[in-house]
């Protein structure tokens, strides 16, 4: 009997077309799930007959309660080499091997700039007006050249965002709890002493921090109040770093010029979520990692992970 493999959150139905699964045909049956399963009981019921699960990023939590309810599950593969919603101790306890895949840092960099440029030049409203035969030119763009770009986080992704900002002729500054002068100088940015100074003096602020105890809720109502009324905030990192309710209030009240979001407190967003109707907000459905090359890596290496597990020598283990 063949093993059964579930591929979760395959929204575009591309998991089996962007990777070659043929080497597993005789041993593994692959089943894609095009929709998101949010309810824990529904998830357990859906996965009860599967031996292998491929989960996309951190869309679906695998706490101890879920792992305990899936006695048939033996291999859990996460896209990326870090996943905060898998209980690794519980996986070990229940004999579940957890493996990952590589994930490129360039796609979220590119989306960050798509959002930032879209905000600065009013791309969405101007395009909508043009398509609908509406008014000709209704916005006045914000200049990037000479403006200050403030980066919260200057790691692998933040450093690349900084390089693009410098190419636009922006004044790039950065802050994080462990940022050094040497790292800032390495990418051509200036290190600021406090996040408050960065927020108060930047024209564009972009978040590139890992989510942890120090960064959770880092930007709340008090921090948002420091932003200039002409400033823009972009978050393609993790929703919990910025207080979403406080940000939406600032946008509704016109206290900042706009925001670009690719991450949300609940994903996928409920149909009636206030994010969908908030003014001055350019939002995308967590597309930061969603590119052809990244998906080829995710699913191609998922196949490699399964082959290695079946051979008794798991690779890219996370547990």
**Please, is 293 exposed, middle or buried when counting C-beta atoms within 10 Å of its C-beta (0-12, 13-18, 19+)?**
exposed
Is residue 181 annotated as a catalytic residue, yes or no? Answer: no
Is residue 253 annotated as a catalytic residue, yes or no? Answer: no
The arrangement of strands across the sheet holding 148-152 comes to 190-191, 171-175, 148-152, 204-207, 232-235, 258-261, 281-283
Query: Helix, strand, or coil here: 110?
Result: helix
Residue pointed to by tokens 């979220």? 108
Give the number of residues written for the chain. Answer: 319
* 37: its two tokens: 């399963």
Q: Which of 4, 36, 238, 280 is catalytic?
A: 238
Three-state SS letters, 189-224: CEECCCHHHHHHHCCEEEECCCCCCCCCCCECHHHH
Q: Which of 267, 280, 296, 307 is catalytic?
A: 267
Q: Which of 57, 160, 208, 286 is catalytic?
A: 286
Report d(CA 80, CA 289) in Å as an integer: 10
Is residue 208 annotated as a catalytic residue, yes or no? Answer: no
Query: Catalytic amino acids?
Result: 238, 267, 286
């Amino acid at each position: 009997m063949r093993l059964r493999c579930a591929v979760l959150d395959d929204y575009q139905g591309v998991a089996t077309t962007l990777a070659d699964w043929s080497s597993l045909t005789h041993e593994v049956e692959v089943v894609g799930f095009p929709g998101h399963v949010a309810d824990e009981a529904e998830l357990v019921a859906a996965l009860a007959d599967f031996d292998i699960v491929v989960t996309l990023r951190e869309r679906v939590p695998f706490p101890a309660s879920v792992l305990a309810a899936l006695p048939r599950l033996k291999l859990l593969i996460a896209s990326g080499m870090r996943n905060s919603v898998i209980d690794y101790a519980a996986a070990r306890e229940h004999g579940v091997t957890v493996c990952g895949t590589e994930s490129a840092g360039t796609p979220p960099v590119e989306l960050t700039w798509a959002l930032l440029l879209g905000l600065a030049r009013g791309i969405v409203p101007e395009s909508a007006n043009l398509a609908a035969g509406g008014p000709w030119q209704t916005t006045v763009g914000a200049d990037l050249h000479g403006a200050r770009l403030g980066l919260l986080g200057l790691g692998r992704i933040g450093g690349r965002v900084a390089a693009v900002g410098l190419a636009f002729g922006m004044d790039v500054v950065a802050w994080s709890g462990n940022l050094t002068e040497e790292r800032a100088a390495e990418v051509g940015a200036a290190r600021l002493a406090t996040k408050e100074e960065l927020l108060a003096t930047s024209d564009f602020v972009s978040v590139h921090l890992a989510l942890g105890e120090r960064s959770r809720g880092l930007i709340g109502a008090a921090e948002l109040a420091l932003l200039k009324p002409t400033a823009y905030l972009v978050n393609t990192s993790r929703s919990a770093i910025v207080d979403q309710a406080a940000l939406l209030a600032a946008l509704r009240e016109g206290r900042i010029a706009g925001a670009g979001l690719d991450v949300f407190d609940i994903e996928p967003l409920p149909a009636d979520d206030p994010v969908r109707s908030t003014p001055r907000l350019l939002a995308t459905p967590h597309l930061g990692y969603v590119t052809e090359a990244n998906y080829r890596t995710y699913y191609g290496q998922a196949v490699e992970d399964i082959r290695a597990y079946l051979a008794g020598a798991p690779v890219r283990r996370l547990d």
